[in-house]
Structure 1
């Protein structure tokens, strides 16, 4: 009897071969499918690991394998190989566009308050490692709190390609280069991973000359609207302000795929609200949710 939210047979046929196999001596591993279903149950409900139902094996076994594969990079590698083996990957790459966006600082890490500094490591450094920052006081969110911001790049179908975590008080533009460098899609046969999209779509938060120069050096077209204060400053300088950057209003509406991707990812409650203390564990949950998409 299948349970809602568990892997279907068709999904397991795609994901199962990408997971590592047991080699050498030792006891055989427990069923990978039950372990992945246990991780998905926890991501979907946002419950503590200790509340994992018994049908998914002991929670210690599921968490240990989940954490070990996160350290080894197996979750990220499985997601990239799954994207590269998609039947749309080759045909859609030539005209692929990479919308980039970050969540507003509303993903509140409820249990990520860092411990006191040890071994000379400052408190602020610990918060940065765990991707935790103080949210600014805004009219829409008057209460301050610890937050985490998720930066995401997706393809033209709205499937995640790279994920970067920063503290909630980090500006979106400062993480753009890291998001772009994290895109590494293996080819279906041989060759270097694909890292450069044909076009990048972003909102006004990414409107900076540094980002535009970076994309120009990589041969990537940019569809990013100019911020109002940048427009005013350019007009104030007159001829020395230069020409306005190119902007295609007909292409820009395609950026909505990244918004829809965030909406689909936040169907997993453990992604919508951060309960993980460590940033690496939280990011691994996002990668697994993206793998399901």
Structure 2
């Protein structure tokens, strides 16, 4: 609980300046809005414990689950979660904690029991509705960008979109960096077309070849991205997709990535 409280406090210091200022209504002001800090606590509780919004303990946080859901949605529409992630990446870069020379890429399947956008018949779960988390990290496993797609989308189709999704990473003098020098991936990403697209962007692909025996040696360098996927799944809300709206699920995913970046800053890994 002490670690969670510290993470919440440090997240709030960075999140508060990013929240849009509400327009004040003078003629029909209505009730006072719920405190944003309380809403953040409720959102973190749902992310960590995967409880339905209606079962959020109101007496504990002083805010209803519906209000927390609305804040999560509104802040996602305002780009707050993405800005928070980019700010923490810049802090990691300024502290010399990012290795952007190499990038690692991988994906994971999750169940999507309620369906919705960006879902599809999962090839690993008897064609039940599912989604995929596509993730790209630096060489140490710090998440740089994530994409949510249907469970039936092939991994290689998201290779270039993931590379393009890397934000300009600031924190050091000079032009913000957006491209790694090398990209490491397993054999699911082996395709001549995508190797050429990476090379055209100045990125050298280090991708295991299909049809070749296992033992390429890339696993000794790729394991941090698999560890980060395991960390993401420690947030119980990300193990199963309950949200029909993909933007809500993406907001949870961005928040989890921000927490991992914060742990990196604190020296937790």
Tell whether the 8 Å contact from 1:6 to 1:40 is kept in structure 2 after alignment.
Answer: no
CA shift in 2, pair 1:157/1:18, >3 Å: farther
| 2:202 aligned with 1:219 | yes
The 1:189/1:197 distance shift into structure 2, 3 A limit, reads closer
Q: Does 1:280 align with 2:267?
A: no
Q: Decide whether aligned partners of structure 1 residues 157 and 205 sit closer, same or farther in structure 2, where only a CA change above 3 A counts.
A: same
Work out the CA distance in 2 between the residues paired with 1:221 and 1:165.
Answer: 25
Q: Distance between the aligned counterparts of 1:191 and 1:31, measured in 2? A: 39
Deviates more, 1:150-159 or 1:255-264: 150-159
The structure having more radius of gyration, on CA atoms, is 1
Q: What residue is the counterpart of 1:133 in the other structure?
A: 120
Aligned to 1:199: 182
Q: 1:222: how far off? A: 1.7
Determine which of 48, 52, 55 is the counterpart of 2:56.
52
Per-residue deviation at 1:195? 1.3
Tell me by how many angstroms 1:29 deviates: 5.5
- Bigger mean CA offset, 262-271 vs 19-28: 19-28
Alignment partner, residue 22 of structure 1 = 21
Q: 1:271 to 1:94 in 2, by over 3 A?
A: closer
Q: TM-score, normalised by structure 2?
A: 0.83
Match of 1:37 among 41, 46, 58: 41
The offset of 1:289, in angstroms, is 0.8
Once residues 281 and 146 of structure 1 are traced to their aligned partners in structure 2, the CA distance between those partners, rounded to angstroms, is 17
Q: Distance in 2 between matches of 1:166 and 1:10?
A: 32
Give, in whole Å, the separation in 2 of the partners of 1:94 and 1:51: 41
Return 5+ residue gaps in structure 1 as ranges. Answer: 115-129, 233-247
Structure 2 unaligned regions, length at least 5? 261-269
Note the aligned Cα RMSD (angstroms).
Answer: 2.7
1:167 aligns with 2:154: no
Q: Does 1:98 align with 2:103?
A: yes
Higher fraction of strand:
2
Alpha-carbon offset, residue 192 of structure 1: 5.1
Q: Distance in 2 between matches of 1:85 and 1:211?
A: 32
Task: Give the paired residue count.
Answer: 252
Work out whether residues 121 and 128 of structure 2, in 8 Å CA contact, stay in contact via their aligned partners in 1.
Answer: yes
> Could you tell me how far 1:95 is from its partner in structure 2?
5.1
